[in-house]
């Protein structure tokens, strides 16, 4: 059998194959009214199609732990019971197709209150259902973006509680994996990086202080999440600042990621979902097929923590090679699954693997 289609076990959960769907925001929930942040028909059809397509694990897009934690007014949320109840329709369908449902819980921090990307992604004001962003320090993301309010210690602790409450609701909603979003310049990543964290209290300065908030979130989520089910953490392995030899700006680095991965493992994280960038808008990033895979490979080799690899992974044999070479334990496919919801099924046919097929489709197997 193709290594890409071997099952993968984390705690008591067995994921049927190594083709997983990366979390990708759809910006398609109601922005106001009683259904704010509630998944609807678009989300059911979107995720359901990839489950029918044989994807082993589907990680639902960044889902906000509080209203101000959304990236855009159209983001999904899981801060109330109405939202979690609506997710049950999706998680039940995914499980019926043999897919493991996961959800990424998130807080956008200083990058919050922006429009959908197809409308330009600029900050939105209160008249367009916007709000005031928060962050570790009063540093705007980019020109034209608002200065975020600096979180107080009490505010930080409230966000920690919000993550824990979101994890509880995620389990009630039927999710079997919860992923903490610490990547792409959103709130947790902002605390990690000295580029965005200029605090002088217990949450800023030293490596231990800058990682304190993230580990408090992990501990709070792990405490309420079932012991038998895995917790993932998504990280940007580098800000792509000090990786550029002529760039003197200080940022989060690959070395920091390896060091932090060991802490995450000790605190009960079961897999590191390794991405990069997003925290510095003018960072220079050399992209290409599989360009982020080496960051995942290094964590796996040096820390012994299972990893997922992302970044311009779009072909079946490319995906299988990543698993065969032990660069990662799974591949998280993004844009290719937007282009082809049946990527896993097509890859299985190409590589000689197997995926579950709905009875209605058996005549085509």
Predicted confidence (pLDDT) per residue in 43-94, tens digit: 999 999 999 999 999 999 999 999 999 999 999 999 999 999 999 999 999 9
Question: CA–CA separation, 256 vs 182, rounded Å?
Answer: 13
Give the predicted TM-score (pTM) of the model.
Answer: 0.97
Has 47 been annotated as catalytic? no
Kindly give, in sequence order, each residue whose CB lies less than 8 Å from that of residue 45, ignoring residues fewer than 6 positions away.
none
Determine what percent of the chain is predicted with pLDDT higher than 90.
95
- Per-residue model confidence (pLDDT) at position 1: 76
Token look-up 């029918």 returns: 52
In the predicted model, is pLDDT for residue 244 greater than 90?
A: no
Angle at 24 between CA 267 and CA 143, to 5 degrees: 90
| pLDDT mean over 226-249 | 87
pLDDT (0 to 100) of residue 204? 97
- pLDDT tens digits along 115-152: 999 999 999 999 999 999 999 999 999 999 999 999 99
pLDDT band at 364 (very low <50, low <70, confident <90, very high): confident
The answer to whether 278 touches 311, Cβ cutoff 8 Å, is no
pLDDT per position as a tens digit, 340-361: 999 999 999 999 999 988 999 8
**Confidence band for 243, pLDDT divided at 50, 70 and 90:** low
- Token duo for residue 29: 């929930």
Residue with tokens 């998680």: 91
pLDDT at 246: 63
Instruction: Confirm if 182 and 276 have CB atoms less than 8 A apart.
Output: no
Across the range 15-25, mean pLDDT stands at 98
Question: Is the per-residue pLDDT at 365 higher than 80?
Answer: no
User: Which of 27, 47, 186, 203 is labelled catalytic?
Assistant: 186
* CB of 188 closer than 8 Å to CB of 216: no
- Domains annotated for the chain, with CATH where assigned, are 3-355 (3.20.20.70)
- Nearest in space to 169 (alpha carbons), one of 235, 225, 213, 116: 225
Confidence of residue 231 (pLDDT cuts 50, 70, 90): very high
What percentage of the chain reaches a pLDDT higher than 70?
98
Cα angle at 188 between 186 and 193, to 5 degrees? 90
Residue-level pLDDT at 242? 79
pLDDT of residue 62: 98
pLDDT at 190 over 90: yes
Residue 247 pLDDT: 62
Spatial separation of the C-alpha atoms in residues 85 and 39, rounded to whole Å:
10
**How do strand 8-10 and strand 13-15 relate by DSSP bridges?**
antiparallel
Beta-bridge mates of residue 77:
64
Arithmetic mean of pLDDT over the chain: 96
Here the contacts of 154-159 (C-beta below 8 Å, separation 24 or greater) are 156/203, 156/213, 156/216, 159/65, 159/66, 159/69, 159/107, 159/187, 159/213, 159/217
């Amino acid at each position: 059998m193709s290594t890409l289609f071997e099952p993968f076990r984390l705690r008591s959960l067995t994921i049927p194959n190594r083709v997983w769907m990366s979390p990708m925001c759809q910006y398609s929930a109601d922005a106001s009214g009683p259904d704010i942040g509630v998944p609807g028909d678009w989300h059911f059809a979107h995720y359901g199609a990839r489950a029918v397509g044989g994807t082993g694990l589907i990680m639902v897009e960044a889902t906000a732990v509080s209203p101000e934690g959304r990236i855009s007014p159209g983001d999904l949320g899981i801060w109330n019971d109405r939202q979690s109840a609506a997710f049950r329709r999706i998680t039940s369908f995914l499980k019926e197709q043999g897919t493991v449902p996961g959800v990424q819980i998130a807080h956008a921090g200083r990058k919050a209150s922006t429009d959908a990307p197809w409308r330009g992604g600029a900050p939105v004001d209160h008249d367009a259902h916007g709000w005031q962003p928060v962050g570790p320090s009063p540093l705007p993301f980019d020109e034209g973006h608002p200065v975020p309010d600096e979180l107080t210690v009490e505010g930080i602790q409230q966000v920690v509680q919000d993550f824990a409450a979101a994890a509880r609701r995620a389990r009630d909603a039927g999710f079997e994996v919860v992923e903490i979003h610490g990547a792409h310049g959103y709130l947790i990543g902002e605390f990690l990086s000295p580029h965005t964290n200029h605090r002088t209290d217990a949450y800023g300065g030293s490596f231990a202080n800058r990682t304190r908030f993230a580990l408090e979130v992990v501990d709070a989520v792990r405490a309420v999440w079932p012991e038998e089910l895995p917790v993932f953490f998504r990280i940007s392995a580098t800000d792509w600042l000090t990786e550029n030899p002529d760039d003197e700006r200080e940022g989060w680095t690959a070395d920091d990621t390896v060091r932090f991965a060991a802490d995450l493992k000790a605190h009960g994280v079961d897999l590191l979902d390794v991405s990069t960038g997003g925290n510095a808008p003018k960072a220079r990033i050399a992209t290409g097929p599989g360009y982020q895979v080496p960051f995942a490979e290094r964590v796996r080799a040096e820390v012994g923590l299972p990893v997922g690899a992302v970044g311009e992974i779009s072909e079946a044999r490319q995906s299988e090679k990543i698993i065969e070479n032990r660069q990662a334990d799974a591949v998280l496919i993004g844009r290719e699954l937007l282009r082809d919801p049946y990527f896993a099924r097509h890859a299985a046919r190409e590589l000689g693997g197997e995926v579950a097929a709905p009875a209605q489709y058996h005549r085509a197997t």
